[in-house]
Amino acid sequence: MHEAYKSLEIVLEDEIKVYRALLDLVRREKEVLISAKIDELNENNKSKEAMVLKIRALERVREKAARDLAAAVGASTESPRLLEIASKVVDPYNSKLRSIHSTLDLLIRRIKEINENNEALIQSSLKMVNGALGAIKDTLQPRSTYAQSGEVKKNEVAGHFVSKEV
């Protein structure tokens, strides 16, 4: 049981480190979004993707370690829950698993919260860009006016960004 516990504890501690790094990246993403530095945003996104891949790999290891420890302590091995396993072991294992669970839960909630805020920033930015593009498009559309005969006449494009003269 001790070895199964140790394997699970090691992978959980590794997950905490990666989630902390991911939390730093989503915090940094907010700063980059506000400053509109595209190159930094691309680098930050690459780093976030790398963290997510690490988390996925650690999750596979964690699931196996959790099943092994659950089997050793008589908990459900179908989908072992950290708190259920913690309830089946004695201190100091119990306290450590509960502490790790609390830490992971807090980190994940904080990452989710900041990601939602970042998404709102991105949506707002997209609305602004779409509005600006619409305004530019409107300036390039032909304007309808009345001719001297009273008929509606489409004028040439209202504005040009590039001169037609060479």
Look at residue 142 in the predicted model and tell me its pLDDT: 66
Residue 36 has a CB neighbour count (10 Å cut-off) of 9
In angstroms, rounded to a whole number, what is the distance separating the alpha carbons of residues 15 and 111?
14
| pLDDT of residue 16 exceeding 90 | yes
Look at residue 159 in the predicted model and tell me its pLDDT: 52
CATH no. for residue 120? 1.20.58
In this prediction, residue 11 has a pLDDT band, given cuts at 50, 70 and 90, of very high
8 inside domain: yes
pLDDT in tens, 84-140: 888 888 888 889 999 999 999 999 999 999 999 988 888 877 787 777 777 777 777
**Which range marks the domain in which residue 71 is found?**
2-130
Number of compact structural domains in the chain: 1
55 inside domain: yes
Sort 62 into a burial class: Cβ within 10 Å, 0-12 / 13-18 / 19+: buried
- What's the full length of the chain, in residues? 166
CA nearest to 115, candidates 39, 38, 52: 52
* Residues 2, 73 contacting (CB under 8 angstroms): no
Q: Please state the pTM of the whole predicted model.
A: 0.73
Look at residue 13 in the predicted model and tell me its pLDDT: 95
17 inside domain: yes
Tokens of 85: 């396993």
126 inside domain: yes
Segment 145-163 mean pLDDT: 60
In angstroms, rounded to a whole number, what is the distance separating the alpha carbons of residues 129 and 136?
11
142 inside domain: no
* Residues 24, 48 contacting (CB under 8 angstroms): no
150 inside domain: no
pLDDT in tens, 49-84: 999 999 999 999 999 998 888 888 887 778 888 888
Q: Where are the alpha helices (DSSP H) in 74-155?
A: 82-88, 93-140
In angstroms, rounded to a whole number, what is the distance separating the alpha carbons of residues 8 and 61?
8
